[in-house]
Chains A and B, each alone.
Chain A
Amino acid sequence: MRFVDEFRDAGMARVLSTKIAELCEPGRHYKFMEVCGGHTHTIYKHGLEDYLPETVSLVHGPGCPVCVIPMGRVDDAIAIAERDDVILTTFGDMLRVPGGRGSFFDSKAAGSDIRMVYSPLDALKIARKNPDKRVVFMAIGFETTAPSTAMTVLRAAAEHLDNFSVFCNHVTIIPAIKAILDSPDLRLDGFIGPGHVSTVIGCRPYEWIARDAGKPLVCAGFEPLDILQSVYQLLRQLAEARCEVENQYARVVPWDGNTKALQVINEVMELRPHFEWRGLGFISHSALRINEKYARFDAERIFALPGVRVADPKACQCGEVLKGVLKPWECKVFGTACTPETPIGTCMVSSEGACAAYYNFGRFSRDRVKEATRT
């Protein structure tokens, strides 16, 4: 077993497509939100909407970590990078993200030492090799990525690598889901739960969504059959008048998550009182920062940051896309002024952003979708 190909079988996808159609009540429309940007990517890459009846729509959620970073934080990171003694490292997805004064690429072209890394451990290696420089890792990501950053800080502490620090932008998924549920603009029938975040936090933190908010949630894997099976399981819950948290991705997600990963997050980080999300505004207790014990590795304490809040460009509707209120192509600048090469908003940058995914893989005609969403 290779855990990939088995979950991409086209024949089985057609079977699931038929079973999904059988479960739909005639005349009823269903809206499910896939919280995670990785799911959005799979849905567009494999054209999964073609396997669903027109009465089932998938709404893209806020789970793209690059997309939710507000412009002010990009400007803060660039301000750090502009210092002569600094090497700023971050994931490749971040490099094109526009801030108020341009992107990381622009700053790099102007002379800043900004480097793309695959892992925070690569940033640590750069710090070891450059003892005369201060190496800052701009950390982004949900609970999936936070433990890797925390492990790297612990390693830096063990090695006394005091020229290494983290500009921490880790966010947490539950407050974002709560903000979506509190939003009056959107009526949802259930959630496709974020599989890789759940690898760390487990399935229990979602129980309130089924119990108190009355929405079923199926924690899902990232292959095409995983997503179609999750839609099937959501529809079956609705058909049987059940409202539960189910784990479709049990091969990877333990119900209680990864205890060690949660421990290292708690050792190194603490919740911020509030954090600004692009499109969702300020959300309480929705992000992590480096705690007092590891303060010497916290770039926010080491460097003076502008910390200025920058409003999104007027033309950009990323906020509405992130809340699932607008489909990517309904944004006024989608594919015209805003493209992956010259993005105006973050959703067009990351491969997990709904706009980039639709721009790169969008395969069925916009007219057909408009038709389907009008009914």
Chain B
Amino acid sequence: MCLGIPGEVIELMADPSGQESDLAMVSVEGVKRAVNIGLLREDGQLDLEPGDWILIHVGFALSKIDEKEAKASLEFLMGLGDAYTDELEALAASDIT
């Protein structure tokens, strides 16, 4: 139950009266579900739009996923793996028939 899963925001949902609500429609591995985004609202402000990714836990968004940080993390790993990528590039460049 403690596992969190990433999902992509599809739509910020309105309540029945058309007012902004605390729900967003989110896609997780192609499955669409409503998720409560109230914990991402600070001083009433919500910095979230369709296309953003969030971490979901027991029906609530706990955090907006920072794509720049994710890329930085992968770049760090790629930096460590230079030898591996060199090998991949060499493989891609090879033309064994």
Contacts and interface: CB of A to CB of B under 8 A. Distances in A.
A2 B97 CA distance: 35
B80 A19 contact: yes
Interface string B53-83: 1010111101101110111111011101101
A314 to B, nearest CB: 29
A144 B70 contact: no
A349 B95 CA distance: 53
A172 interface: no
B14 interface: no
Contacts of A122: 59
B40 interface: yes
Interface string B1-26: 11110100000000000000000000
A142 B70 CA distance: 25
Contact of B77 (A12, A65, A118): A12
B39 A3 contact: no
B63 A144 contact: no
Contact of B2 (A6, A15, A142, A147): A142
Contacts of A229: 73, 76-77
A93 B84 contact: no
Contact of B73 (A4, A37, A140, A250): A250
Interface in A20-66: 36-38, 41, 63-66
Interface residues of A, number: 57
A295 interface: no
A271 interface: no
B65 A12 contact: no
A231 B58 CA distance: 28
B3 A251 contact: no
| B6, B67, B88: residue with the most chain A Cβ atoms closer than 10 Å | B6
A274 B60 CA distance: 28
Interface string B22-57: 000000000000001011111000000000010101
A66 B3 CA distance: 13
Interface string A132-146: 000000001110110
A138 to B, nearest CB: 12
A172 to B, nearest CB: 14
A151 B84 contact: no
Contact of A3 (B40, B59, B70): B70
A1 interface: yes
Interface in A215-260: 222, 225, 229, 232, 248, 250-254, 258-260
A3 B81 contact: no
A41 B41 contact: no
Contacts of B38: 151, 260
Contact of A11 (B59, B71, B81): B81
Nearest to A248: B73
A352 interface: yes
Contacts of B58: 91, 118-120, 141, 145, 148
Nearest to A264: B39
A41 B1 CA distance: 12
B59 A250 contact: no
Given A248-B73, A258-B39, A260-B41, A120 B59 contact: yes
Given A260-B42, A352-B2, A148 B57 contact: yes
A16 interface: yes
Considering the complex of A and B, which 4 residue pairs feature the smallest CB-CB distances, nearest first? A119-B59, A15-B81, A251-B70, A251-B69
Given A38-B2, A148-B60, A260-B41, 11 more contacts: A16-B77, A19-B80, A91-B58, A119-B59, A141-B1, A147-B62, A151-B39, A251-B66, A252-B4, A254-B63, A260-B40
8 contacts: A11-B88, A12-B77, A91-B58, A144-B62, A145-B2, A147-B62, A196-B4, A251-B66
Interface of B: 1-4, 6, 36, 38-42, 53, 55, 57-60, 62-63, 65-67, 69-74, 76-78, 80-81, 83-84, 88
